[in-house]
Amino acid sequence: MRVLVGIVALSLAVFAGAVRPAAQEGHPLKGSWIGTWGPAKSHSNDMVLILNWDGKSISGTLNPGVDDVAIKNATLNPEGWVFRFEADVKEKAGTTLNYVVEGKIENLAFPNRTVSGTWKNQRESGKFKIGRQ
């Protein structure tokens, strides 16, 4: 009888470990996002965005690493799910460009949601698209 109880207990433990509970995702923008942005379809740059939600505001980092840039003035409008943020990017020449990025969250109900929209700075503008990782 003890052996049977042990086998049942072990089976339940293995089964419980194999079943993955539904994740609580929290804020729709929280997490890592990867995508591209550029002035034209023929030329685009890779983009990584790490976003966080502290219960009051959205913060994050654009292209984390040596030349990372903190995002600022980030907002999410639930009417239309429009995400907007700014980032001041320092160029090698010593000038700073202010990027304004705005896009709409698509596939909001799914973990693999995306944000598509436009960006602009003092010199140029273009399209961008990022996806949740």
Domain spans of the chain, in order of start:
27-132
pTM of the entire predicted model: 0.77
**Confidence at 104, pLDDT banded by 50, 70, 90:** very high
In contact, 53 and 30? CB cutoff 8 Å: yes
Torsion 56-120-106-130 (CA) sign: negative
CATH of domain 27-132: 2.40.128.20
Token code pair at residue 124 = 């140029």
Kindly state the average pLDDT of the residues 54-73: 93
Strands 96-106 and 125-132: unpaired
**Confidence at 66, pLDDT banded by 50, 70, 90:** confident
Q: Is the pLDDT of residue 58 over 50?
A: yes
Comparing 10-14, 53-57, 59-63, the range with the smallest average pLDDT is 10-14
For a pLDDT cut of 90, what percent of the chain falls above it?
62
- Determine the pLDDT at residue 7: 54
pLDDT in tens, 6-40: 454 444 444 444 444 444 456 899 999 999 998 87
Residues 6+ apart with CB under 8 A from 86: 71, 72, 73, 74, 98, 99, 100, 101
In contact, 108 and 19? CB cutoff 8 Å: no
Tell me the Ramachandran region of residue 83: left when phi exceeds 0, alpha when psi lies from -120 to 50, beta otherwise: beta
